Structure 1
Amino acid sequence: MENQTESTGKLNGRMFGKLAVIAVMMFGFGYLLVPIYKQICELTGVNILTSQEMKVKPIDNSQIDKSRTITVEFDANTTGPFRFRPTVSSMQVHPGEMSQVLYEVVNTQARSVEAQAIPSYAPQQAAAHFKKVECFCFQQETLGPNQAKQMPVVFYLDPALPRDVKTITLSYTFFEVAKPEKQATVKPATAG
């Protein structure tokens, strides 16, 4: 029986040793897994995690024609109870470059007003090449009593703009929108 207990003790000791070696190897493999994974990804070009590859370079907009500069002048006219003007009188832009200008409007009345802006362009041929992305002229504006508001125009000039056009004037006319009169309802006469 002692022989059997000794033999079982030796077997258990060997098994413990083998399990300890396996546990150390598993820990080492887990520890080395991240650097190994990075190396494999780098070699295959998949899921690159290196810091050099993670730096994102800004992409140049190839649609911008930096060889030309166009002067865009801004103008404002109004009909009605408003003070209306652009915040800048002009800016230099390259065709294809996104630009923004603000127009300011003040309702000088003590009542709410519905208003609309209509754009016009000079020279007329520039109208087809002046692309507005955002504009207060797309919809009617409601201004409260004595309210002041800044309204953006985000635009770009189509690179196909003729080369002889060096200056474009964007002009807005801001006017009060007449509210439709309520028609009196006429009751049909009853025969009596």
Structure 2
Amino acid sequence: MANLSANRRMLGKLAVITVGMFAFGYALVPLYKTICEMTGINILALGEQVLSGNKAMPANSQVDTSRTITVEFDANSRGPWEFKPAQRSLTVHPGEMTTVVYEFQNVQNRRMSAQAIPSYAPMQASAHFNKLECFCFNQYTLEPGEKKSWPVVFVIDPKLSKDVTTITLSYTFFEVGGKTPAAPVAGVKPVIAESAGS
């Protein structure tokens, strides 16, 4: 009988602990939201304020809307495959996060491993072209006929000289360990002088 009474007490304690844990977990959501709203550290909390009409989200002060830069995209293949940007150029503001896509297809009848190396023109742009995500960070193995689309997410530093109005981002895609010679070391692509009228 004593064991039965002790078991009931233990069961009661476990039930209270379980209910307490559930209540604590349930209370964490509004508590988290309140802390985030007070500190302003959660982008989701700011988004909800905009939707509810309480307050507008602050503008990104890092974007220089007073100027634009044309970014041209180029693709070179050192091997028998297809490699190209989904779009050839676009116009961005310095400080603005932008995503572009490059498309690749292994047209060989064998598996291959490959990697891309970027280069920039003009030379001074390379120090100000910040890639947050890029397929060039890794090597890839593709099956025969396999197609891939890879994003490049980048931001151009607003500190880039105002003389630079066009940047060319070029990738050379080469087979790793293949017979095709490797691409040149990442660097600067020679810039072709444009006429004053273009």
Fold-level similarity (TM above 0.5): yes
Distance in 1 (CA, whole Å) between partners of 2:143 and 2:74 is 24
Q: What is residue 113 of structure 1 aligned with on the other side?
A: 112
What secondary structure does 2:124 align onto? helix
Amino acid paired to 1:117: A
Query: Quick one: distance in 2 between partners of 1:58 and 1:151?
Result: 31
Count of aligned pairs = 131
Residue type at the aligned position of 1:165: V
State the partner residue of 1:70: 69
Quickly say closer, same or farther: Cα 1:79–1:53, change in 2 above 3 A.
Answer: closer
Q: Deviations over 1:51-87 (max 9, x none)?
A: x987352221100000000000000000112100000
2:88 corresponding residue in structure 1 = 89
Query: Unpaired runs of 5+ in structure 2?
Result: 1-37, 39-50, 179-198
Partner in structure 1 of residue 136 of structure 2: 137
Q: Which amino acid aligns with 1:159?
A: P
Residues 98-155 of structure 1, C-alpha deviation per residue, up to 9 Å, x if partnerless? 0010000000111111000000000011000000000000010111110010000000
Identity of aligned residues (%): 60
Residue 38 of structure 1 aligns with which residue? none
Q: In the aligned structure 2, how far is the partner of 1:56 from the partner of 1:109?
A: 56
Change (3 A) 1:56 1:114: farther
Residue 58 of structure 1 aligns with which residue? Answer: 57
C-alpha separation in 2, matches of 1:88 and 1:146: 22
Instruction: Indicate how the Cα distance of structure 1 residues 90 and 53 shifts in structure 2: closer, same or farther if over 3 A, else same.
Output: closer
Distance of 1:55 and 1:176 partners within structure 2: 54
Q: Determine the C-alpha separation between the residues in 2 that align with 1:113 and 1:57.
A: 50
Q: Helix, strand or coil for the counterpart of 1:126?
A: helix
Q: Which residue of 2 aligns with 1:103?
A: 102
Query: Which deviations, in whole Å up to 9, do the C-alpha atoms of 1:21-50 show, x marking residues without a partner?
Result: xxxxxxxxxxxxxxxxxxxxxxxx9xxxxx
- The aligned counterpart of 1:48 is none
TM-score normalised to structure 2 length: 0.62
Paired letter, 1:87: A
Which amino acid in the other structure matches residue 157 of structure 1?
I
In structure 2, the partner of 1:151 is 150
* CA radius of gyration, larger in: 1
Please tell me the root mean square deviation across aligned C-alpha atoms, in Å.
Answer: 2.2
Q: Distance between the aligned counterparts of 1:107 and 1:176, measured in 2?
A: 11
